[in-house]
Amino acid sequence: MKNTNTIKRITKNAIMLAMLCVIGMFSIPLGDNIKVSLQLLMVFIIGLTVSTFYDGVIITGLYLLIGLFIPVYAGFNAGVTPTFGFVISFVVITPILYFLNKLPIKNQFLRMSIACVVSLIICYFIGALFLALYLHFDIQKALLIAVVPYVPFDIAKIVIAVLVVSILNKRTI
């Protein structure tokens, strides 16, 4: 029975990685260099549903490595770009999502929302810091460029992720 559970876990992780690679490539242009991708939505779902925190690190770590050579990042990009810090942050925030989702808060919507908001703040910090270092900006300019325009979209991603994971939790056998 242990082998069956291991196979299920590996299969689930492979599907999550494939979904992140496919969904991560697409971005919706909203004008003035603002493009919204769904990478973070998938990272939230991964972090809230993985069996162990290692699984989240492995999935997002493999995504980071694959994206260095194959264009799976937002906008069909590959390699190190000014927004690469956000991809790095995915590896950091998946275990945070996992552990915060284990907090003893009975209301699952509140628990998952807290996990996502805290993770989003960390994602913003790492991504903006990398952007500032990469482009030689001060951190305030990096936050203005890489964070402020995306806050409403990322809040929507949190809502969608919490709803999707709630539905998945009810349907899991």
Cα 82 from chain centre: 17
Closest CA to 116 of 84, 63, 160: 160
Instruction: Note the pLDDT tens digit of each residue in 43-99.
Output: 999 999 999 999 999 999 999 999 999 999 998 899 999 999 999 999 999 999 999
Instruction: Note the pLDDT tens digit of each residue in 112-123.
Output: 999 999 999 999
User: Which domain range does residue 23 map to?
Assistant: 2-171
The CATH number that applies at residue 30 is: 1.10.1760.20
Contact 9/51 with Cβ under 8 angstroms? yes
DSSP track, 85-153: HHHHHHHHHHHHHHHHTTSS-S-HHHHHHHHHHHHHHHHHHHHHHHHHHHHT--HHHHHHHHTGGGHHH
The 10 Å Cβ neighbour count of residue 53 is: 16
Overall average pLDDT of the 116-138 stretch: 97
Q: What distance in Å separates the CA atoms of residue 116 and residue 107, rounded to the nearest whole number?
A: 14
pTM over 0.85: yes
Does the structure show a pLDDT above 80 at 33? no
**Total domains in the fold of the chain:** 1
